[in-house]
Structure 1
Amino acid sequence: MPDQNDIIYGVHPVAEALKNPRRRIYSLKASRNAADRLATEIAVRGVVPEIVHPNVLDRRLGPEAVHQGLLMEASPLDQPRLDQIDKSGTVVLLDQVTDPHNVGAILRSCAAFNVTALVATSRHSPEATAVLFKSASGAYEHVPFVKVTNLARAMAELKECGFRVLGLDSDAVLDISEADHTAPVAIVLGAEGKGLRQLTRESCDSLVKLSFDGPIRSLNVSNACAVALYALRR
């Protein structure tokens, strides 16, 4: 068993981990109701859960964790390098988005829109933690999460592979619906408040915005990601 396992809790994250053959599962603690709810997935994987009272999981994870009666310890997933991902479809890049709740929600949107990969920098992005897994609601098992040293260099590498790189910026003149987003395309999202850094902006082929008619003209970064991916698909 490795020194650092992934701690995964909640119905959807645990269910998707059970279905992922790349995961080696070391333990699964479950309440009786939760074990019954995932009986098929547990049986197919051949895991024998330890049936515990939900209070045991409360004590292990803390009162804020919505564990839904499930706690798994599993091997970490090996993630690809940037040069190993498919050079097609849509890639999402994050410019210093550090909140694991936001990144988890972005992973969920990436899975829903069949994004090729999510790319972030190693130093300014969240680790693969239980909070991120829960926020991703199982999407972490499906979307390659690539860590790079330098975002601008990663953008240049994608361009060399034929990607058109669009930066989402509320001050942009061009609406995302008007941009050339012929695949392969990459969309870059900045941190809330700070937005895209100057070098990141300069490294984009185009800066695009989401246009709104209401009194509030901005969205949480994870919501903006979902809207942008839908606009690119259309």
Structure 2
Amino acid sequence: MLLYGRNPVLEALQGGRVSELLVAKGIEESFVRELKTFDVRLKFAPRIELDQLAGTTQHQGVMAEVEDLEWATVDDILDRADEKGEQLLMILLDGVTDPRNFGAIIRSAEVLGAHGVVVEERRSAPLSAVVAKAAAGATSYLPVAQTKNLPRLIDQLKEDNVWIYGAAGEAATDLRRLDYDRKLALVIGAEGEGMRRLVREKCDELVSIAVRGQIKSLNAGVAAGILIHHAVSSRPVKAKP
């Protein structure tokens, strides 16, 4: 897989997943020196060649040939919470097919402290270079899993005493009124359509984010970031050992 963008490429280099780098001629020497600290072959090419390969001019002068991103499992996410000694915070995506939103949600989940992201197999963007770039390297650190049937997974999580909160703009309950000090999964629906009816009905609570402007909705990536941040910051602060 071809990966582009400086942060994603540097994260992939640190993870040992890069076999070759393609660098735009004329790029600043300080960045070239940083790339040379890794034991990977550099190939220099005209910037237009990178434009054509990436299908965009937003590659920041560097591309990498990397191993394909691999899906984790739901158990990997559950184990991550257990290993950290924390109450589960899982993000479930119902029909988020825009790769930039998908990547942005992965980035927010990793940065803010969620334990993983789960998508339904047939209702999600693939783990692509666009997703990896939008995630700014977070795909190297956060488990991202697939499930064949999201409603069935929700039922299984409930059996394990996981509470399910679904984001819905029209919900009467403000996000500040809920209890986040419990094992929790936050459901983010598709742009425009929101969650499917069956997924919505399986949620324990539907939650909204108060908006005060003329535009009454947030995109999925921004909404996810706000919800994750509020969930994490509402939990008791663990004492440092």
- Pairwise same-fold verdict (TM > 0.5): yes
Q: After alignment, is 193-202 or 28-37 more displaced?
A: 28-37
Q: Residue 130 of structure 2 aligns with which residue?
A: 131
Measure, in 1, the Cα distance between the counterparts of 2:47 and 2:168.
Answer: 44
The one-letter amino acid paired with 1:81 is: T
1:158-216 C-alpha deviation (Å, 9 max, x unpaired) = 22333211001112121111111113211001111111111101111111111122222
Answer yes or no: is the 8 Å Cα contact 1:34–1:69 preserved in 2. Answer: no
| Partner amino acid, structure 1, of 2:132 | F
From 42, 47, 62, the equivalent of 1:49 is: 42
RMSD: 1.8
Cα deviations by residue, 1:84-123 (Å, 9 ceiling, x for unpaired): 3234431111001101111111111112112111110111
Q: 2:33 aligns with which of 10, 29, 39?
A: 39
Q: 2:66 matched to 1:74?
A: yes
Deviates more, 1:219-228 or 1:158-167: 158-167
Residue in 1 that maps onto 2:150? 151
Shift in Å at residue 226 of structure 1? 0.9
Q: Secondary structure at the match of 1:49?
A: strand
The number of equivalent residue pairs is 225
Q: Distance in 2 between matches of 1:34 and 1:15?
A: 16
The 8 Å contact of residues 22 and 62 in structure 2, kept in 1 or not, is answered as yes
Secondary structure, counterpart of 2:41 in structure 1: coil
Aligned residue identity for 1:135: A
Name the TM-score, length of structure 1 as normaliser: 0.89
CA deviation after TM superposition for structure 1 residue 233, in Å: 2.1
Work out whether residues 107 and 136 of structure 1, in 8 Å CA contact, stay in contact via their aligned partners in 2: yes
Shift of 1:38: 5.6
> Which residue number corresponds to residue 228 of structure 1?
227
- Which sits farther off after the overlay, 48-57 or 189-198? 48-57
Q: Is the 8 A contact 1:167 1:207 kept in 2?
A: yes
Unaligned runs of 5+ in 2: 82-86, 234-241
Which residue of 1 is the match for residue 173 of structure 2? 174
Aligned to 1:19: 14
CA contact (8 A) 2:113 2:232 kept: no
Aligned counterpart, 1:90: 89
Identity %: 33
1:92 is matched by which residue type in structure 2? Answer: I
Distance 1:70 1:29 in 2: 6
Distance 1:58-1:148 versus aligned 2 partners, 3 A rule = same
SS in 2 for 1:76: coil
Q: Which residue of 2 aligns with 1:3?
A: none
Residue deviations 1:6-49, cap 9 Å, x none? 2100111101111114x2x2221113526741633541x31121
Distance 2:206 2:36 in 1: 46
Letter in 1 for 2:137: G
Q: Residue type matched to 1:186 in 2?
A: A
In 2 relative to 1, CA 34–167 (structure 1 residues): closer, same or farther, beyond 3 Å? Answer: farther
